[in-house]
Chain A
């Protein structure tokens, strides 16, 4: 067994990379992941990535914000300490709406971005798990697990055929660790 961990197909063009994904899949070669410098539309369907549920979560965060704002204002200015302002009613719902709206947005944004960072493991200072340094610049990288897929030369051939500029055999999974 060689000690190659990952085979990387490095493409200069997103369409050729998509072609590479198709080629590998036709040959039942499982793709570990794909790294690109920009979002590629249609790739998630090919790689069988499920639709994100972040939108549902965002909705519930928003509702929490609305309810929290209402509860805060209601409990303070209607229950806890009623103010007589020109004899007007304390429970003045229209006046509550601006703050309820703002807190809906605030909770949605923080809940959404917070769960996005948590679910994709993004946080300040996290060691970047990068397989190829040019994946954030001008290369589109397909990574194949070399231990699971034994036919290395076949994979190389398929990637080259699809238009890969270079094919790398990495002995370390992530090259970014110093």
Chain B
């Protein structure tokens, strides 16, 4: 496997010059095997307050009904579905990293896939809670399943995108969970074999008896590849179907065929932004700079520029078609979006999603951690507004001017949304404490080929093209985790 060297022209995926297999395990398991530090506690308590708010707000909704939200008869869908689509979208980056990048053999995914996929699972949980709380009678949630209605003989309407969505989201959640958990088995076994007493017993149950023999590993790789192969079309289908919740209706502003690709690009865009928001903090607090390097951050920023630009093109196309189609209702919907009473939401969306991500074309900004972090949050604000604009501005002025209305969120709407962020962070912070945030086994695979020390050894051996070495050393300048003095003499 590692009998050959990787080209010096590729940037290293693991930095540091004294990395061993044991050190990788120790570094990654540091937060799992030790007491949490103060930063973790501060974050966790804040997140827990948010989660409590969520419990209060959702209980209030269940007790008093959907009337406690700001919905009215014109705007029957607002913050709830905005939040749902926003969270599902965020989830998409995890699958993209773990599945699509695996198929494309992008090895830099190895150190970010685990936490990105955990993020997917938690984001989909947050999304699902919106669906359940919007049902009004959540104890009848099983009615979305294909059971004969009222247990007579009428079935769910299989032609409805909302039923498709139920299938898509539940498949997506369970397949992501399987993929994530199967990948976790070897790492749980690592924790188990280092632990003692009760910890060992608990991790032993969850490790499924993994022992890392040849056959298990060989099958493991086959399974990962097939799961990646099926998750790739799955992730595309999920947001496609989410977009069909809107696109198959006859509401001007929703009834467009570009929705599926436009939603998928937006989902990846917001998902990568959320991955950056989380990992930029996690790498610092957990001391994982050697594994999540500037190269990873820059690569994710490049994906954000690409998908952000696709989203921008989609916005412009939508606007153009509204005029070009000659449909006055469609044209009005778009003029109203950009200049009507919700103009501020529209321009917020345009600024955060189309204009500000273009700053990432500048290398300085792409490589600046504070700038990237702020931009990643800006993108997620923008993506929330995108869904708000699509949903509320298309509904609030319908065909009958006498029923035109505005949407004003109540404290319950706001609390459900803010609370869901709390739920998400609570789950994510717990994950960081009990499970390895980086796939240990997969990172070990990179040590002999793609690490800085392996490349340094190659350089020291000589026989390399001087120009290539120079180029490589220059590429290392952006890394904050590389000791530049080592290279000064080369």
Contacts and interface: CB of A to CB of B under 8 A. Distances in A.
A122 B21 contact: no
Contacts of B1: 14, 40-42
Interface in B159-208: 159, 161, 163-164, 167-168, 171, 174-175, 178-179, 182, 185-186, 189-190, 192-194, 204-208
Given A124-B205, A128-B189, A99 B163 contact: yes
B448 interface: yes
B400 interface: no
B222 interface: yes
Interface string A137-150: 11000000000000
A116 B182 contact: yes
Interface string A5-28: 000000010110000000000000
B2 A15 contact: yes
Contacts of A126: 208-209
Contacts of A49: 214-215, 218
B155 A39 contact: no
Interface in B196-241: 204-223, 226-227, 230-231, 233-234, 237, 241
Interface stretch (B49-57, B438-446, B476-484): B438-446
Contact of B159 (A15, A42, A85, A128): A85
Given A37-B190, A135-B211, A98 B226 contact: no
A151 interface: no
B158 A124 contact: no
B22 interface: yes
B219 A54 contact: yes
B216 A120 contact: yes
A119 interface: yes
B159 A109 contact: no
Interface string A26-65: 0000000111111111111001010010110010001000
Contacts of A47: 214
A112 interface: yes
A87 interface: no
A98 B171 CA distance: 12
A116 B182 CA distance: 10
B121 to A, nearest CB: 14
Contacts of B205: 124-125
B212 A37 contact: yes
A103 B171 contact: yes
Given A72-B146, A99-B167, A137 B226 contact: no
B159 A112 contact: no
Contact of A116 (B158, B223, B233): B223
Interface in A86-142: 88, 92, 95-96, 98-99, 101-103, 105-106, 108-110, 112-113, 116-117, 119-131, 133-138
Given A108-B230, A128-B211, A137 B206 contact: no
Main SS of chain B's interface residues? Answer: helix
B467 interface: no
A138 B211 contact: no
Given A123-B208, A124-B206, A95 B159 contact: yes
Given A102-B171, A122-B210, A128-B207, A80 B153 contact: yes
B3 interface: yes
Contacts of B153: 80-81
Given A15-B2, A35-B211, A109 B158 contact: no
A108 B153 CA distance: 30
Given A81-B155, A109-B230, A38 B178 contact: no
Given A80-B155, A106-B171, A119 B219 contact: yes
B410 interface: no
A100 B163 CA distance: 12
Nearest to A62: B230
A14 B2 contact: yes
A144 to B, nearest CB: 14
A47 B383 CA distance: 52
Contacts of A95: 158-159
A103 B237 CA distance: 12
Contacts of B190: 37, 136-137
Nearest to B203: A128
Contacts of B442: 38
A35 B186 CA distance: 12
Contacts of B231: 105
A36 B192 CA distance: 15
A175 B276 CA distance: 42
A105 B182 CA distance: 17
A126 B159 CA distance: 44
B25 interface: yes
B157 interface: yes
Contacts of A4: none
A14 B212 contact: no
Interface in B405-428: none
Given A33-B215, A37-B190, A116-B219, 7 more contacts: A39-B217, A98-B168, A98-B244, A105-B233, A106-B171, A122-B208, A128-B210
Interface of B: 1-3, 20-22, 25, 146, 153-155, 157-159, 161, 163-164, 167-168, 171, 174-175, 178-179, 182, 185-186, 189-190, 192-194, 204-223, 226-227, 230-231, 233-234, 237, 241, 244, 440-442, 444-445, 448
20 contacts: A15-B448, A37-B441, A38-B445, A39-B221, A54-B219, A76-B158, A92-B159, A95-B158, A95-B159, A98-B167, A99-B167, A102-B167, A103-B167, A103-B171, A109-B179, A113-B223, A121-B209, A129-B211, A135-B212, A138-B22
Interface of A: 12, 14-15, 33-44, 47, 49, 52, 54-55, 58, 62, 72-73, 76-77, 80-81, 83, 85, 88, 92, 95-96, 98-99, 101-103, 105-106, 108-110, 112-113, 116-117, 119-131, 133-138, 176
